[in-house]
Each structure stands twice: as C-alpha cells, then as structure tokens.
Structure 1
Amino acid sequence: MDKPNLSVSFQVTPQAFSSRCYVKNPHPCYRPPKEDVKPPRIIDAMRKAARENAPSQHPLWRIAPRYHAMTHELLGNERAMNLHRARAVDAILECLAAHVNIVTGKVYMSLAQISDACGLTTYNAAGKPCYSRASRAINEHLEAIGAVLCERIWDDTTASYIPNIIWVTELFFVLIGYEYGKYLSAQQQQLSWENQKLRDAGEGPITLTEARRRAKTEHIRRAFDYRTKKLARSKQRRQARKLE
C-alpha cells in the first residue's frame, strides 16, 4: 500500500510578498507632475541616464567617504543599501535630474514634492503626510556622499527650517552616468543666453556665482512669503472660531 503523500506544495505569490513588505510602495518610480510638458533635451538625457543606469548600484557607494548631513562628521563604513532604499534612491535621482536648473544646479522641488512625485509619501490615520522615506534616502545617502548639498535655513518666526535648498554636485552626474563635461557645456551655453536677455533689458551680465546667489535669495524670499501668508490665514481662522 502506498504511503499517503503528506507534503504540501505551495507557491509564494507576489501578494504574499507584498503582505510582508514593510514599505507602503515597494516599487517607487518618478512620475512628472506635468506629463504633457516636454523638457529640454539635456534634461531629458539626464533623466534617461538616471533611469537606465541604476545609480544605486554604482561602485561609488562602496568607496566614497560619507559625512553626517547635520554635523558633517565623517561616518563609518556603510552597510549594503537594502533593496527598498536603493529603489527610493534611484527614483529620487531621476526626479532631481528632471528638475535641476542647468545654470545654477539648484533643484526646483521641495522634499515634499520629490516624495510625492516618486510615490514615497505615506499618510497616517489622520491623513497627515510623512516624507521620511524620501528624507532618509536624501540625507543618509545622497547628501552623505556629497552627490547633493542641502542648505538648511532657520526661520525664527516658526522656530523651524524652511524647505531645504538642494544643489547637485559633480558626484550627482557620476552616479546617474551622465558626462559632466556635457553638462558644463550646456551650463555655459544657457548662462550666455540668460546674459543676453539681461543685456537686452539694459542690465549687466552675471557669473555662475551670482546666478546661484540670486537663486538662493529667491528661494528664501518665496519660502518666507509663503509662511507669512500661512500664518496670516491661521490667525484669521482662529479669530473666526472665536466669533462663532
């Protein structure tokens, strides 16, 4: 008499994996906020490089020194980047490539916008957004090795920092696999074009340093204007509730 087969065969399905996954979106990817807008050719090429070259697998991660984002102290050797963090890094790098200003190297996106565009934002039970997954990928990896620089400016009015100013560096182009020399050529060409517009308006030409200074000043001005208006709206709502 044949013995009954007591073994139970089973197949692990993608649903089984997803049920054990500790992140909300295990496959983040960058999606442009405006799909119908055609970017300049260099931006399109940089984004394509970031999308196709798997920046999170670059050897630079294993050899580059790492520094703490706030204290700037040298950090020890980094353990291997886990799969979910690597996917977040890849999505964010494509996003940065899509929104960097060619002249200044400033990324025209806030952390919240980057997180939303890459599908990294999560929400608590009250519907409040959390951007920690994107923040950790930027601060603990991209900023730590110097691929981006984040300027943090304190606002005494709200006792908090305004949205970081994010600048890309030469290492950013190394990671995404885009030739830095091509970027520099495009940068000079774009600066010449902008200086021509300034001359036509009766102004003098500017340098790259001055262009970056103006970009930083405008970023700060916009941030403080937004916060001033937000505080004014909050004050009006409080006064309205008192009158009810």
Structure 2
Amino acid sequence: MPRKNYICNPKPVFNPPKNGKKRSNFICYAMKKALEIDVARSTLNKTLLAIDPKTGNILPRFRRLNEHRACAMRAIVLAMLYYYNINSRLVEASVEKLSDECGLSTFSKSGNKSITRTSRLISKFLEPMGFVICKRKKTESNSNYVPKKIFLTPNFFMLLHISQSQIKQYFLKQKKILNILKIEKKGGAFFDMKNISQLDEKFARRKILNALINHYTADELAIIGPQGLKKKIDIEYGKLCKLYKKKY
C-alpha cells in the first residue's frame, strides 16, 4: 500500500450521539476552545517531558505527533470532553466508544474491529505527556492491561488554555446556582430545578411558584400575599437568568 494511503480515515471527526443529553456550560465552553485551538500543535507537546506511566522515568526516545496522529488527537480531545464528568474527572466512555464516534475504528476483511489507532494515541502519547491518567485492568485471557478508566489532568486543560482557577470558578458558580435552585422545604426535602436554559419562562416561574407554595405554610402565604409572592418569583427567576447569561 502506498505510504500516503496507509491510514484509514486520515481526517477523523468526532460525531456525538444524536440523542445525547445537553452538556454543561463548562463542557460546551471547553469544547468550543478545543475547536478554536489546534491542540495537536500546542507548545506543550514540545516542551513537556514524556514520562513512562509504569516506571515514572523520562522516556529518552519518544515519538511526537505526525500529521495522522495529530488529526486523531484533535478528534479524541473533543470526544473526551464530551464525555467528561467534571466532578469525578472521569471520561465516561470506553476507548472503543471514543474510537467509534471519532471514526478511528477499523475493520478487517473478516469483520474484526480494531481500535489500535485510538488506544495507541492514548497509551503512547496522551498518557506519557501527562494529559490523561489511565487505570488499567488485567484481562482474564492474557497478561495485557487495557485502559478501563481515563481521567483528564490539569495538563489536558492547559492544552485548551483553561486554568485550574477557571475550573474552580465554575465549581463556585455551580454552588451558587444550587443554592438558588434548591429551596429547602420542611422535613428536609429539596426542590431541584433543571437547567434554566432548557426551560421556557412560564414553566420556570411555575416551578418556582410550586416550590414556594410547598415551602411556606398557608398562614405564611396569606401574610406574603399575591404581590409579595410574585415579587419573590421575580427575584428568584432574575437570579437564575443572570447566572446563566454570564459567559464562562
């Protein structure tokens, strides 16, 4: 096979599932940054030392990104972000799923699937460079170790020019949102509103109204009155809109 044709799908692209749930504001922001910045040509790829994840030693001979692996990295970074859980720092997708949705999986003439292109990118580049940490599990059939869990590191977000302080700010913002969205009722129950961006104004206001009605007694509602109740709804709804209109 000619050298220029030795790679199947030389221009892989991440295609998220059509019925996938809405991602958080932070993930949308990070994915937007990944599209704007060429992560495969980041200066980090040249300046960071490659470390053997098994021994912790510096790898004196280390293969940098050629164009085909660079294309694969651009797609995989988006896929990892899409499935990233910011609380656990875990990529909630298998290597096979990442490979399939980036168009990096290949099939032999006999129909056997190979995800080697993706697994090698992870184990031979992303992991030694410190962009991800992999936890492996020994297979029962042989002595090979396969990545079972992938965690994104601060270095990964440095590729996107996202600092740890920005991530902490996101957590603080989420905490503020939860304080607004959760109105404590008597008995220790909570009201949780869905992401305001997914709700129309009438539905959101009705949800807030129901929460307030459940929160106060009949006597307290009588004292507050219709105008006072409307004012409380306006205040809570305004806080929600203000928080979600802020660009991360």
Where does residue 3 of structure 1 map in the other structure? none
Paired with 1:180 and 1:51, the residues of 2 have a C-alpha distance of: 20
Where does residue 52 of structure 1 map in the other structure? 36
Verify the 8 A CA contact 2:134 2:147 in the aligned structure 1. Answer: no
Structure 2 unaligned segments of length 5 or more: list them: 183-187, 191-248
Match of 1:85 among 69, 76, 101: 69
Following superposition, the deviation at residue 70 of structure 1 comes to 3.7
Where does residue 96 of structure 1 map in the other structure? 80
Q: Aligned-residue CA RMSD in angstroms? A: 3.1
Which amino acid in the other structure matches residue 129 of structure 2? I
Paired with 1:72 and 1:98, the residues of 2 have a C-alpha distance of: 29
Following superposition, the deviation at residue 188 of structure 1 comes to 5.1
Following superposition, the deviation at residue 48 of structure 1 comes to 1.1
Aligned residues: 183
Verify the 8 A CA contact 1:92 1:114 in the aligned structure 2. Answer: yes
1:172 has 2:143 as partner: no
SS of the residue 1:39 aligns to: coil
Q: Deviations for 1:57-113, whole angstroms, at most 9, x for unmatched residues?
A: 111111111122444432015454210000111111111111110111100011000
Distance verdict in 2 for CA 1:35–1:102, change over 3 Å: same
SS of the residue 1:150 aligns to: strand
SS of the residue 2:99 aligns to: helix
Q: TM-score, normalised by structure 2?
A: 0.64
Verify the 8 A CA contact 1:68 1:140 in the aligned structure 2. Answer: no
More strand by percentage: 2
Paired with 2:75 and 2:6, the residues of 1 have a C-alpha distance of: 18
Q: State percent identity of aligned pairs.
A: 29
Which amino acid in the other structure matches residue 42 of structure 1? F
1:131 has 2:115 as partner: yes
SS of the residue 1:152 aligns to: strand
Verify the 8 A CA contact 2:80 2:91 in the aligned structure 1. Answer: yes
SS of the residue 2:51 aligns to: coil
Where does residue 96 of structure 2 map in the other structure? 112
Deviates more, 1:83-92 or 1:150-159: 150-159
Q: Deviations for 1:1-31, whole angstroms, at most 9, x for unmatched residues?
A: xxxxxxxxxxxxxxxxx99321110101111
Paired with 1:189 and 1:45, the residues of 2 have a C-alpha distance of: 14
Distance verdict in 2 for CA 1:19–1:74, change over 3 Å: closer
Verify the 8 A CA contact 1:96 1:107 in the aligned structure 2. Answer: yes
Runs of 4+ in 1 over 6 A off after TM superposition: none
Q: TM-score, normalised by structure 1?
A: 0.65
Q: Deviations for 1:113-138, whole angstroms, at most 9, x for unmatched residues?
A: 01011110001111111011111111
Match of 2:51 among 67, 71, 75: 67
Following superposition, the deviation at residue 191 of structure 1 comes to 7.2
Verify the 8 A CA contact 2:40 2:70 in the aligned structure 1. Answer: yes
Following superposition, the deviation at residue 160 of structure 1 comes to 5.8
Following superposition, the deviation at residue 201 of structure 1 comes to 7.5
Verify the 8 A CA contact 1:66 1:144 in the aligned structure 2. Answer: yes
Which amino acid in the other structure matches residue 92 of structure 1? I
Distance verdict in 2 for CA 1:160–1:79, change over 3 Å: closer
**Higher RCO (C-alpha 8 Å, min separation 6):** 1
